[in-house]
Structure 1
């Protein structure tokens, strides 16, 4: 999913009035402003290859695009690039008088609605939000996933189904596993029906369960599992260990500890492994960061784990997977360290700050 970052907002304006509005926004929000060579001012960049070309490049390169002008112009220029709301950047349109700030694309996952409200606040304008859940003052599954940094199998279809049920007035249950209830309390859950006990369900049309568990009871209604990304894996391995072996053993360890594979948040290892192809491929395939720690950083915590003198002579530290998992989870480890086929894996759980 794409989320708009303040440092990657591109703003386009075509008229003197647009430039004046852009200057007001630039003073309050970190934006990169683009205009024509005729209107260029200090702090503004000129269009590279013309307005349409520059706007399309920004659609690809920035997390959010703001256009001061007619909505029709933005639609016609960007239409060939539009993919879906889970990957497109937020697109905001502001009229030249600064009266309305329209969230045009990617209002939820792209952060368009939030950005429109922020810019409207700066200008004293009216934010124009058209997403069905927002206008009905309801939460949305895609926003809940964003707030929790959570994933779901067949996410696109799940979002469509659950959000449609919510705006249709259906009863969608929301149950949260104990470790994540404090985090859920900070999220928007309007319209969901709170479920306290899975063994005593109220009358529902569907149920969303927030959990990192790999298995849940079976229910006689549509069940959707939203999985917070909280599990970290410290991994040590022999040089040139294959991706296939690493993947098999990691999934085996996740399953042994009852974790859904979607719960994985990061993989960590030693800086010496920066070019380990199997680990790099593993992180890429699972779409998680590959975090590297120096021997000095790992040595601070290796006393918690069984050390290997061979590993110490080779790497400068007696244990890799355990200290790496410790650092990524602030010491919240789960289960025993796995050791097999020249691979060590230690799991931990990292709560969001």
Structure 2
């Protein structure tokens, strides 16, 4: 974790150094206070310098007044998903204030750590923490889940802190800890009439839910998309096949963590281009690893004669998912075969 610790007074330097010696980090101070090798200089104005700090560090500790800190970071605050954690500490270390990105960035936890170092008091203002509730974004962070729609996340969190009835449907293979939130099955929803829903799973559309109920979708990145195709398949045909397949199976692409194929397809232009555009890793499976298990899957004599193994997409996805479960079985699309397996290991 990259961490910057900034101080703008001589007294602040002492507190910053105390924090740094306990939890680590890179020290910065005003050029006029830069003596020795411990502190690096703040170049130019603090507000200008903070642009660099915001881009380069995921945790920022500012030993200074809240007013100075707020004015210096204001131009760079963008989103709770991307903003770094910012904690403001007074010169004497009496208070460590979680200022920005308390949940996803970890500023709340960082403030508590700093307070234990300085002997001060952490100041946490997020409503869910003060009410003893777990927020939607903290559930996502704890279990490494992707939040699809932040507006829906905000609505569901608001329902939680306002004492509304929020339930969870968990269609993932993982145990999701959410103290105080009842976990239910789809058949129970109609009778319960919840005010908001947390959904954990990889469905693209939640057809079981009324449109007027806010739903935060938390998606585990646990799926492996297996691909087999004839040589030099057109990229557009592959894209159309994948889009159709995901739509038919009602699976969101956000749940896919990797694409798997066989070694003879490692340079297949369409597969390489599609995975690159989607930012997905392409995992290549050796035919020697498929041979011992190919009888578990539907095989083709033609494929076996052509490349030496009788099937591609299913054994490749199975192996890359570490022997996971079938989510969407093999489907053929005119020279393309696709399937999806899910890695059922927690924290995969």
TM-score norm. by structure 1 comes to 0.79
Task: Compute the RMSD of aligned alpha carbons.
Answer: 3.3
Post-superposition CA distance 1:282-323 (Å, at most 9, x none): 44654x53144474xx633443235645446xxxx9866445
Where does residue 340 of structure 2 map in the other structure?
A: 347
Structure 2: gaps spanning 5 or more residues: none
5 Å matches for 1:264-303? 264-269=256-261, 278-279=270-271, 282-283=274-275, 286=278, 289-293=280-284, 295=286, 299-303=288-292
- Equivalent of 2:224 in 229, 232, 235: 232
Q: Cα distance, 1:150 vs. partner?
A: 2.8
SS in structure 2 at match of 1:199: helix
How far apart are residue 69 of structure 1 and its match?
Answer: 0.9
Deviation at 1:332, TM superposition (A): 0.9
Distance 1:265 1:294, change over 3 A: closer
The C-alpha deviation readout for 1:149-186, integer Å capped at 9, x for no partner, is 33454x12112211111222111122223623x2x1xx
Once the 2 structures are TM-superposed, how far is the Cα of residue 56 of structure 1 from its aligned partner?
1.6
Q: Deviations over 1:54-80 (max 9, x none)?
A: 322110222222211111112111211
Q: How far apart are 1:273 and its partner, in Å?
A: 7.0
Larger CA Rg, structure 1 vs 2? 2
**1:217 maps to 2:220:** no
The one-character-per-residue Cα deviations of 1:67-105 (angstroms, maximum 9, x if unpaired) are 111111121112111112222222111111111111111
Q: Return the alpha-carbon distance in structure 2 between the equivalents of residues 253 and 336 of structure 1.
A: 10
Could you tell me how far apart the structure 2 residues matched to 1:320 and 1:145 are?
Answer: 33
Contact kept in structure 2, 1:16 and 1:39, CA below 8 Å: no
Q: Which moved more, 1:98-107 or 1:249-258?
A: 249-258
Structure 1 stretches of at least 4 aligned residues deviating more than 6 Å after TM superposition: 270-277
Write the distance in 2 (CA, Å) between the matches of 1:65 and 1:27. Answer: 15
Structure-to-structure mapping, 1:126-275, within 5 angstroms: 126-153=121-148, 155-177=149-171, 179-180=173-174, 182=175, 184=176, 187-190=177-180, 192-196=181-185, 198-199=187-188, 201-214=191-204, 215-219=206-210, 222-224=213-215, 225-237=217-229, 241=233, 243-269=235-261
Aligned mates of 1:196, 1:156 — CA distance in 2: 24
Q: Secondary structure at the match of 2:219?
A: strand
Partner of 1:70: 65
Q: Are the aligned partners of 2:60 and 2:84 in contact in 1 as well (CA < 8 Å)?
A: yes
1:6-155 aligned within 5 A: 6=1, 8-37=2-31, 38-49=33-44, 51-153=46-148, 155=149
